[in-house]
Amino acid sequence: MSITTEITARHWAFAIFLLGALSLCVLILTGSCLLGTRARGRSKNMPFESGINPVGTARLRFSAKFYLVAMFFVIFDVEALYLYAWAVAIREAGWIGFIEATVFILILLTSLVYLVRIGVLDWAPKRSQYLRQEDFIDVSYRHQE
């Protein structure tokens, strides 16, 4: 079989797969519209969360720390992806790849230690932070009076 015939066969196979997937999606959506029940009511249009009726607005303000932690999660998640790719190709990478991965992990570990040291990941309110610092200070001189 020639190369052009093989490439054409692969394109046709992909086209048939794509057509099958799209037709399956259309079939499922059409079937749910035709066979599904239609119950109308005041409570049917309300959002449902564990049986609790919604109270108040859904527009809540999140702390900026939430977004910061989400960004750190994404950064360290990407690190896991790189390490997974490295683990798959560990035999081809050899010792050079091992040293590069170790340097990569050490840089990210250093950044994590830095983030912990400056208190970015500390969620406690300011008042309890001061109380915790006071626990480490020797306050025995107060009780000597």
Identify the helix (H) or strand (E) that includes residue 73: helix 64-88
User: Number of structural domains, the chain?
Assistant: 1
- pLDDT, tens digit, for every residue of 25-58? 999 999 998 888 777 766 666 666 566 666 777 7
SS3 12: helix
| pLDDT of the residue at 82 | 86
11 CB contacts (<8 Å, ≥6 apart)? none
Identify the helix (H) or strand (E) that includes residue 79: helix 64-88
CATH of residue 106's domain is 1.20.58.1610
| pLDDT of the residue at 116 | 82
- pLDDT < 70 regions, the chain: 1, 41-54, 124-145
Question: What range defines the domain where residue 14 resides?
Answer: 3-144
